[in-house]
Amino acid sequence: MTALLAGASGLVGRELVRQWQGNGRLHLLVRRPLHDKAPGHSVHVVDFAALPPLPRADEAYCALGTTIKAAGSQAAFRAVDHDAVLAFARAALAAGVRRFGVVSALGAQARSANFYSRVKGETEDALAALGFASLVIARPSLLVGDRAAIGQPLRRGEVLAQAITRPLGGLVPKAWRPIAAERVARALLRAVAEASPGLRVLSSGQMQELGAP
């Protein structure tokens, strides 16, 4: 089983690398060299705006993503969360990939008035139109994890959300609770491994259960 992964340096991407258990090779496509050398895997530093032909693979995972603040503008955000994701998906399809898993976001909707949610929704719709035999879209709520380990500052929204939801415990619906990146990765890996034909959308609440250790 050979797989492709775009976005290995982020919270979910790192967990996908750590948890992937295929008996073949995992090819990591990144925009910048990884601090961790990812022993046993092949690392490819690429320009997603001009991707070369990718290695033949059975499945692919996309954890590419940024924020408007980090990107610097709406156009720069769209270049990553829409254009780069689709470029990778098309290249993966050309490389023989039949099963594709992608990390999107809670509230993704192509007709949303919110720019972030609209871009995520447009990306999902475009991916669904590509024709993968099996497409799994993960829509996590607020992601939590060790951002210091990947050189990212702790986000204010994460601190606030955890401060609010932690005391309430089980009173907060699973769909709205912050979700650990490792749980999202585990749920996505399991869903893609099932290879159900067609489109499958994983809500954050479903991933809380499917991604449990």
pLDDT 10s digits, 144-192: 876 556 555 555 555 554 545 555 556 566 776 889 999 999 999 999 9
- In this structure, are residues 80 and 66 in contact, taking their beta carbons and an 8 Å threshold? yes
Q: What's the pLDDT at 33?
A: 85
pTM above 0.85, yes or no: yes
- Comparing CA positions, the residue from 190, 92, 91, 185 lying closest to residue 140 is 185
Q: What is the mean predicted confidence (pLDDT) over 198-208?
A: 97
Strands (E), 126-174: 134-139, 143-144
- Average pLDDT of the chain is 89
Q: What is the mean predicted confidence (pLDDT) over 117-134?
A: 98
Q: What is the mean predicted confidence (pLDDT) over 29-39?
A: 79
Q: What is the mean predicted confidence (pLDDT) over 27-36?
A: 86
Q: What is the dihedral of CA 31, 33, 36, 39, to 10 degrees?
A: 90
pLDDT-based confidence at residue 43 (cuts at 50, 70, 90)? very high
1/3 Cα distance (integer angstroms): 7
> Is it the case that residue 35 has pLDDT exceeding 80?
no
Burial class (CB in 10 A: 0-12, 13-18, 19+), 113: exposed
- Comparing CA positions, the residue from 64, 71, 49 lying closest to residue 101 is 64
Residue 59, token pair as written in the block: 């499945």
Q: What are phi and psi of 152, to 5 degrees?
A: -110, 145
pLDDT-based confidence at residue 40 (cuts at 50, 70, 90)? confident
The number of beta carbons lying within 10 Å of the beta carbon of residue 67 is 13
Q: Which fold has domain 3-208?
A: Rossmann fold (3.40.50)
- In this structure, are residues 112 and 121 in contact, taking their beta carbons and an 8 Å threshold? yes
Output the furthest CA–CA distance in the chain (Å, rounded).
50
pLDDT-based confidence at residue 32 (cuts at 50, 70, 90)? confident
- Comparing CA positions, the residue from 40, 50, 53 lying closest to residue 96 is 53
Write the DSSP string, 194-207. HT-SEEEEEEHHHH
165/175 Cα distance (integer angstroms): 12
Between 67 and 159, residue with greater pLDDT = 67
Q: Is the dihedral of CA 163, 167, 173, 175 positive or negative?
A: positive
194/188 Cα distance (integer angstroms): 10
Q: What's the pLDDT at 151?
A: 57
